[in-house]
A and B are shown apart, each in its own frame.
Chain A
Amino acid sequence: MSLKLRIWRQADAADKGSMVTYQLQNVSPDMSFLEMLDVLNERLTLDGEDPVAFDHDCREGICGMCSLVINGIPHGPEKATTTCQLHMRHFSDGQTIDIEPWRAAAFPVVKDLVVDRRAFDKIIQAGGYISAPTGSAPDAHATPVPKADADLAFEAATCIGCGACVAACPNGSGMLFTAAKITHLGLMPQGQPERNTRVIDMINAHDEAGFGGCTNTGECTSVCPKGIPLETISRLNKDYRQALRAAS
């Protein structure tokens, strides 16, 4: 296949940046999206040009490093798929593909398509943990967890923290990410001691990082590569309400 790529190029955080067009021939439909960019970068390197910077690590859809807004959709057109697991067979020969970084004040562009997602780490540091004794591992099943709760907690825990929810949100809100963590820990018995402080601290960290507010448009959950459901946000709101009541 041959493709017309329009890619966001930005030398560094201070640079203004712009969309640059590249023509790419002989793309195999079996390539992943990132392999297609690798091929482009090999050519750019051979031509003595600066290759396109993009984030990636495991390339098997579990690390949360890859990003890219592809034709206006974070992680591209396939549902519940990370960019690294997206294959070129989902595009057509001669198609124009626009590639942009996550757009959020809290995720400043480092270079080209790479953004700084440390704002998510700040949210986790504020409350995304439990207090547990360290040392030898506890006995399996020492703390019983109802099966239904365990399943819901696991579903929320599959969040890889990629930030697609923020990229898709018209408000630039990181609420789905925050809610996934609140839901995951709030459903487990180990998460109960910090439950009230967790939600308040994490929301405060979220707002301080410069993320927008949630208006429940549902854009986040539709692009989430792990399919984190919108109900997690309602669970977060319920925890927030209970935390406020407990504090007063």
Chain B
Amino acid sequence: MAISGTVLVLFLLLHMIGNLKIFFGAEAFDHYAHWLREIGAPLLPHSGFLWIQRVGLLVALGLHVWSAAVLTIRARKARPVKYAHRKPVQGSYAARTMRWGGVIVFLFVVYHILDLTTRTFNPVADTSQANAAIVQGFAPGRWYVTAFYVLAVVTLGFHLRHGIWSGLQTLGVSNARRERVLQGTAFAVAFVICAGFLVVPFAVLTGLVK
């Protein structure tokens, strides 16, 4: 859970930083999207690096979901009879929504790939036009796309808030002295990733990015 999660968090950070390239203009963003396909050239073929990365992410995601499924099944078996009166004491909202939050984020990722990678649901079919796909994809007329995007990113933020902290605890990094710092770090990373992703659709809606 922690190791596969680390891979996914590192990808999210790079993805978020890459997205911010859109604020340098349409040309810079399209150029960045093109460069992603040429990483490692001429050693690697066109999109070679991307496919290596996709396979790596798929393996990490598979392990992450598998671990979560094992934990969920074990939890069900460990408490066959439920409490008649149950009240969450300390467990934060983030900790309590890890499982369903994870499902929402997964469904979003499937939609996100169909929207902006394969362009199945995107008005811009030309995959060399990255900037146009973002601007027209988040156009005010497609408000429901933006709404789903915001919901998924906020859910992801909660998932990361608990996930990063829990991962550090699982890897045995935490102790009494570091606990508050690590909790703060988990919140900060979750917040930055969340904000970094959300700023793009809002920039499109306000006309900041054209």
Contacts and interface: CB of A to CB of B under 8 A. Distances in A.
B158 to A, nearest CB: 13
Residues of B in contact with A, size category: 35 or more
Interface in A221-248: 221-223, 229-231, 233-241
Nearest to B2: A237
B79 A215 contact: no
Interface in B164-195: 165-166, 168-176, 179
A216 B169 contact: yes
Given A172-B75, A210-B78, A103 B90 contact: no
A217 B161 CA distance: 12
B71 interface: yes
B172 A230 contact: no
B85 A72 contact: yes
Contacts of A211: 78
A217 B174 contact: no
A105 interface: yes
Binding site secondary structure of chain B: loop
Contact of A171 (B71, B80, B171, B173): B71
Interface string B116-135: 00000000000000000000
A73 B165 contact: no
A214 B171 CA distance: 12
A29 interface: no
A72 B83 contact: yes
B73 to A, nearest CB: 9
B142 interface: no
Contacts of A152: 176
Interface of A: 6, 8, 19, 69, 71-73, 98, 100, 103-106, 152, 168, 170-173, 210-219, 221-223, 229-231, 233-241
Interface of B: 70-71, 74-75, 77-92, 95-96, 98, 162, 165-166, 168-176, 179
Question: What 8 pairs between A and B have smallest CB-CB spacing?
Answer: A238-B172, A172-B78, A212-B78, A222-B90, A72-B87, A237-B172, A234-B174, A98-B85
18 contacts: A6-B85, A71-B85, A72-B87, A173-B78, A210-B78, A212-B74, A212-B77, A212-B78, A214-B170, A215-B71, A219-B90, A223-B89, A229-B176, A231-B175, A231-B179, A234-B175, A235-B175, A238-B172
Given A170-B75, A237-B169, A237-B171, 6 more contacts: A104-B78, A105-B77, A171-B74, A213-B71, A216-B166, A218-B90
